[in-house]
Structure 1
Amino acid sequence: MRLSARRLDPEFLQWFGLFGAALTWTLQLVIGFGVTIARCGPANAVLGVDVKAWELGLMATGVALALLAESAALSILWQTRNGDYGGPPPEGRRHFFALAASIGNVLFIVIIILSGTGAIVHEPCMQS
């Protein structure tokens, strides 16, 4: 019996590395908004929504997925390390996108942590 390691498609890694962290942050923001609205609505008497637990879970999941996107981008960057971002397609395009994604993903990881922390510290449903 022969075991073979299956490699992930470089195209998939390229696009997941480029858009994975951004989509993760978007989902964290939208789902977190929905949880806050549910907490402040009349349904909370029945559901008992715990915003802090939801936001902590969303933040942890978001950081984990964004780190996966960063590792995908760094994997493609490593595979195309001898290429040039101005080189012929698809290697040049992959190198350029991986370079942009590896920088952008770090920013999205920080955004996910900051928005999650702000949502956990803030008390919803308070009147000013």
Structure 2
Amino acid sequence: MRVLRPELLQWYGLFGAALAWTGQLVVGFGVAYADCAAASSRWGLDVVVWEVVLMVVGGMFAVVAEAAAINVLLATRALHYEDPPPDGRRHFFAFGAALGNLLFIVAILLSGIGVLSNATCRPA
């Protein structure tokens, strides 16, 4: 079994969930906008299917990022965040990433549920 370098786990744990949420938000907006546009009416987009897939895929990437952050956090649990670099910095980033990833997981779920519970293409 190949072991990933701690730096790769650290950086994926730090940015993976944020990028997953960003991708879900941008692609979801594009799909919802394309569903309402007259030019794309022949594309046959199903917003519900797209949003469910985006929510599940984004959630999976975010959960993997949380697992990576917890893996690094457990590997550096004997250290303090003020210890010399790179291990102290790795512990600090993993601690922040583990907390931040939970927020991004909730944001992915809430944005997906919000789009699914709202009717698209309503005039203002």
Q: Match for 1:90 among 66, 86, 90?
A: 86
Shift of 1:45: 2.7
In the TM superposition, structure 1's runs of 4+ consecutive aligned residues that sit over 6 Å from their partners are none
Q: Which residue of 2 aligns with 1:63?
A: 59
Q: Structure 1: state its 5+ residue gaps.
A: none
Write the distance in 1 (CA, Å) between the matches of 2:5 and 2:37: 45
RMSD: 0.8
Q: Which residue of 1 aligns with 2:113?
A: 117
TM-score (norm 1): 0.94
Write the distance in 2 (CA, Å) between the matches of 1:84 and 1:21: 24
Percent same amino acid at aligned positions? 53
Counterpart secondary structure, 1:49? coil
Write the distance in 2 (CA, Å) between the matches of 1:69 and 1:51: 26
Which residue type is aligned with residue 33 of structure 1?
F
Which residue type is aligned with residue 35 of structure 2?
R
Write the distance in 2 (CA, Å) between the matches of 1:75 and 1:7: 12
How many residue pairs get aligned? The number is 124
